[in-house]
Amino acid sequence: MAEPRIRVDIDGAIAILTLERPDKLNALDLDTLKALSRALDDIETDASIRVLILTGSGKAFSAGGDIAAWGGMQPQEFGHQWVRFGHRLFERLATMRMPVIAAMNGHALGGGLELAGCADIRIAERQAKIGLPETSLGMVPGWSGTQRLVHRFGSQIVRRMVLGGEMFTAEQALAEGIVDAICETGTVMETARAYAARVATRGPAALEISKLMLAVASGEDNGTAVEALGSILAAKTGDLAEGVAAFKAKRPADFKGEW
């Protein structure tokens, strides 16, 4: 699959989604966000895909939101078309049915770190810098930097990035639990592919259900996760099959309580 600003490659059970704006350090504009949304739709519905790797082209994972894209927006347009759309997209990425690995080939700043924060596993190259510099622009993190990242990294480390403007090296990020592993420059895709290959050998249903259970445990997505788990369970029962058959036949259902 190919689309402006992104590239999606399928390698067996592994999908690789690459941000393709190397001249802009893979900064995110509306066209990129929309392309990501369409790509996630395709990946989510492809039953053959069991793992998703997210990475960037060139020297950066992502420098975050493209200031040229949002800097001139009117407040209402900024809130609705930029912040809320991005928020929905990042929520979609964070709740993909399959495990997501962020292969951080370089700097992940602002929205770029929020994007990586949606992944289940983060692997960073040693030279990568990581931070949330929005307040230096008079802005706040708007794509779950103060919400999801607090759940996943801890409130104090996010305070240090948002309030204190601290920038972390990959080694510091590893020590603080922001990334799960580091590797040498130029090797992140090799490392991520190896990790993804290991994940892809595991039961896809068990992986999907485990992600939902972990979301409940972390307090990130209780309502959606519980309803998804309940719906999956109900869909497997004999009662559902009987209910649908009775509806089609216009007769009363004879439920047996079969699991």
Strands 14-19 and 51-56: parallel
Residue 120 has pLDDT above 70, yes or no: yes
- From 125, 134, 208, 220, the catalytic residue: 134
Catalytic residue (choose from 3, 20, 91, 114) = 114
DSSP3 helix / strand / coil % (the chain, rounded to 5): 50, 20, 30
Q: Is the predicted pLDDT of residue 217 greater than 90, yes or no?
A: no
The two beta strands, 121-125 and 181-183, are parallel
Q: Coil, strand or helix: which one is 254?
A: coil
Q: Which pLDDT belongs to residue 3? A: 60
Share above pLDDT 70 across residues of the chain, in percent, rounded to a whole number: 96
pLDDT of residue 222: 61
pLDDT in tens, 133-146: 999 988 888 888 88
Residues in the chain: 259
CB–CB of 124/182 below 8 Å?
Answer: yes
* Domain chopping of the chain, boundaries: 2-200, 204-249
Band (pLDDT 50/70/90 cuts) for residue 68 is confident
- Are residues 168 and 126 in contact, defined by beta-carbon separation less than 8 angstroms? no
114 is catalytic: yes
- Average pLDDT score over the chain: 90
Mean pLDDT of 37-41: 95
Decide if 134 is catalytic.
yes
Residue among 194, 13, 27 nearest 103 (CA) = 194
Distance of CA 64 to the CA centre of its chain: 14
The DSSP bridge pattern shows strands 14-19 and 2-3 to be: unpaired
Tokens, residue 258: 């079969």
Higher pLDDT among residues 161 and 80, named by residue: 161
Question: What is the reported pLDDT for 108?
Answer: 97
**In the prediction, which pLDDT does 194 show?**
98
Predicted confidence band of residue 224 (pLDDT cuts 50, 70, 90): low
Q: What is the mean pLDDT of residues 225-246?
A: 78
Place of tokens 């992104």: 6
Please list, in sequence order, all residues whose beta carbon lies within 8 angstroms of the beta carbon of residue 17, skipping any fewer than 6 positions away. 6, 7, 8, 36, 39, 43, 52, 53, 54, 55
pLDDT value of position 253: 86
pLDDT at position 196: 98
Q: How many CB atoms sit inside 10 A of residue 115's CB? A: 29
pTM, two decimal places: 0.89
Average pLDDT of span 118-137: 95
168-203: pLDDT as tens digits: 999 999 999 999 999 999 999 999 999 999 999 999
Q: What are phi and psi of 137, to 5 degrees?
A: -105, 5
What is 2-200's CATH topology? 2-enoyl-CoA Hydratase; Chain A, domain 1 (3.90.226)
